[in-house]
Amino acid sequence: MSVRYCAWLVLPLLAACQTLDLDHPREASVAMPDSSPTAVHQLFRPAASAPDGESGFRLLADGVDAFVARAWLARTAARSLDLQYYMINADDTGRLLVGELLAAADRGVRVRILLDDIYAASADRAIAILDSHPHIEVRLFNPWTRRSGPLARAFDFVLNAGRLNHRMHNKLFAADGYAVIIGGRNIGDEYFDLKTQMNFRDLDVLAVGPAAVAASDSFDRYWNSKWAVPAAGLLDHAPTADDIEAVRATLVAHRERLADSAYVHALEKSPIAAEFASAAVDLEFGAATVLADDPSKVEATDADRDSFLIERLQQHAGDAERQLLISSPYFVPGKRGVEALTALAADGVDVSVLTNSLAANDVSIVHSGYARYRAALLRGGVHLHELRVTSGLTARRRDRRLFGSEFVSLHAKYFVIDQRTLFVGSINLDPRSIERNTEIGMLIDSPQLAARVARLFRLASAKTLSYDVTLRDGPEGASDALVWTSEDLGGDVRYTREPDTTWWKRFAVWCAGFLPFLESQI
């Protein structure tokens, strides 16, 4: 049977499958004005005395703290909750947070959820049921139109690869237009230290005041763009009140099942939970700028590159005079990035990069794009650190908490410039984030916050948690062979090949490096 004949058999099935109208009717809406104080304002009373134009900030480096902050904002919001995410998982933490959102909507809070469609198609019915609540609206960013299964989606991608190859990677959680969380975390167990196989080491920043208003403006641009399609068009038949009641009952039962778990006890006993409960959340202050790609990046070309977030971020990083610290879990700098970083190092700037080792990388194929640039970076004076997938410290942490995993992967995306300026966001330093995905982040002028994150960087990049990567014969030697050095039981341990990996994994990643056009897609 010919391929052409098979195609003609499949096409009628695809034509009959469930579709989503990209032009489904929608109404514009914007962030609710910060017209009067709410309970969210009361959580951050010190922010009321911030210098004019400055915002209050709280770093969220711990997964438990990051969950607690989101849950408290959802539980406290009186007017609005706006969420913008690449991914929201239907796992334990995802269901707990959705339960908080539904409870907020039940008390009259307007909830807007903007979700990238890359992983959402399998949850169409659940999304449509949530969207049917009178106070919840869900929109899908740059969605697949054919939604009946993997075959239909694959066919859709073949026809619309130029559009569907661009994704919304932004992460934002805003309450009452006054407080916002921006950073690297999606919504899911691995981002909040509950996954049993592997958890992400990540970083968010909670911002209160003018920075939150600017972030809400960015959300509105996406929400009202032509790429944000209402989930109301997902099902042929609108969900009923019984459907939403069934979801509510399921979420309540799920919360009750977890009530006596070690994880929920950790949430309740965390220091940041006590701060929220006493309305005395500790904040640092500074001026901030929200950097975000425009939603039109979906159809942007190379000629539009000057408008990309990365260009503005590189301008600030290029101004470093003493030190530049970079954390990027997926690090594929390309020739342009290598030239920029080694030029800074040549000017006397201490340039250090923390990324994942091959064993710690949850997307191994990305490592093939990174590996080819290591020798050039090291010869140019850049310091490379690769996070270890496990260590004695991470194992003891897991044993102490009685939940989570001893295996970790870096997911934090930040820059520290001269220990004065800090950038925290969703962008990886790889071609996909730079050129194809939309991203968001916050640039903060605060020596106190920058110093805090610099200390986190030093801790994470220390040889007890990461490998120092060096050239075997030094920067002046002829060989590109690498050495990985870690510290265990008080002494250095050296490796001459990718640590904690099998020969097969190393071979597969090496082979992947020869795939045409791979680097532009990772």
Of the CA atoms within 13 Å of residue 71, those in its CB half-sphere come to 22
Higher pLDDT, 398 or 325: 325
Residues 209-241 pLDDT 10s = 999 999 999 999 999 999 999 998 887 778 999
What confidence category does residue 11 fall into, taking pLDDT thresholds of 50, 70 and 90?
very low
Residues 420-441 pLDDT 10s = 999 999 999 999 999 999 999 9
Beta strands in 179-317 (DSSP E): 179-183, 199-201, 204-208, 228-230, 284-292
As a whole number of angstroms, the distance between CA 298 and CA 301 comes to 9
pLDDT at 301 over 80: no
As a whole number of angstroms, the distance between CA 24 and CA 26 comes to 6
pLDDT at 384 over 80: yes
What is the token pair recorded at 158? 């073949």
Residues 28-77 pLDDT 10s = 999 987 778 899 999 998 887 788 889 999 999 999 999 999 999 999 99
Higher pLDDT, 197 or 513: 197
Average pLDDT score over residue span 406-431: 97
pLDDT at 12 over 50: no
β-bridge mates for residue 168, sequence order: 438
Residues 365-377 pLDDT 10s = 999 999 999 999 9
Say which range, 181-195, 407-421, 476-490, has the weakest mean pLDDT.
Answer: 476-490
Residues 100-120 pLDDT 10s = 999 999 999 999 999 999 988
What is the token pair recorded at 31? 């962030």
Backbone angles phi, psi at 467, to 5 degrees: -100, 135
Within this chain, domains 56-277 and 320-422+453-521 share the same CATH topology: yes
Domain spans of the chain?
56-277, 320-422+453-521
DSSP SS3 for 139: strand
Q: Are 233 and 21 in contact (CB under 8 A)?
A: yes
As a whole number of angstroms, the distance between CA 493 and CA 491 comes to 7
By the 10 Å C-beta count (0-12 exposed, 13-18 middle, 19+ buried), 161 is classed as exposed
What pLDDT score was predicted for residue 13?
A: 41
pLDDT at 303 over 60: yes
Question: Average pLDDT of the chain?
Answer: 92
- Identify the CATH homologous superfamily for domain 56-277: Endonuclease Chain A (3.30.870.10)
What pLDDT score was predicted for residue 5?
A: 42
What pLDDT score was predicted for residue 120?
A: 86
Average pLDDT score over residue span 79-98: 97
Residue with tokens 């209050």, as numbered in its chain: 56
As a whole number of angstroms, the distance between CA 215 and CA 468 comes to 36
What pLDDT score was predicted for residue 188?
A: 97
As a whole number of angstroms, the distance between CA 402 and CA 131 comes to 36
Residue with tokens 């009452």, as numbered in its chain: 176
What pLDDT score was predicted for residue 4?
A: 44
What confidence category does residue 202 fall into, taking pLDDT thresholds of 50, 70 and 90?
very high
β-bridge mates for residue 414, sequence order: 327, 424
Residues 184-196 pLDDT 10s = 999 999 999 999 9
As a whole number of angstroms, the distance between CA 204 and CA 352 comes to 20
As a whole number of angstroms, the distance between CA 74 and CA 99 comes to 10
- Give me the architecture of the 320-422+453-521 domain, per CATH: 2-Layer Sandwich (3.30)
pLDDT at 360 over 70: yes
As a whole number of angstroms, the distance between CA 69 and CA 74 comes to 9
Average pLDDT score over residue span 450-464: 97
Backbone angles phi, psi at 139, to 5 degrees: -125, 145
What pLDDT score was predicted for residue 76?
A: 97
What is the token pair recorded at 454? 């610099």
Say which range, 19-28, 138-147, 190-199, has the weakest mean pLDDT.
Answer: 19-28
As a whole number of angstroms, the distance between CA 258 and CA 262 comes to 9
Average pLDDT score over residue span 444-459: 97
pLDDT at 156 over 80: yes
| C-alpha distances in Å from residue 166, one per residue of 86, 106, 380, 433 | 12, 34, 33, 9
First to last CA, the chain: 36
What is the token pair recorded at 332? 């594929």
Closest CA to 171 of 25, 70, 254, 78: 70
Identify the H or E element spanning 264: helix 262-269
**Which amino acid type is present at position 385?**
H
Average pLDDT score over residue span 301-318: 88
pTM of the model: 0.94
pLDDT at 520 over 80: no
pLDDT at 14 over 60: no
Identify the H or E element spanning 208: strand 204-208
What pLDDT score was predicted for residue 228?
A: 96
Which range, 39-43, 154-158, 229-233, 453-457, has the best average confidence (pLDDT)? 453-457
β-bridge mates for residue 352, sequence order: 325, 383
Q: DSSP for 1-39? A: --HHHHHHHHHHHHHHS-B--TT-------PPP--S--H
As a whole number of angstroms, the distance between CA 435 and CA 308 comes to 8
Catalytic residues: 169, 171, 176, 411, 413, 418
pLDDT at 152 over 90: no
Q: Are 394 and 407 in contact (CB under 8 A)?
A: yes
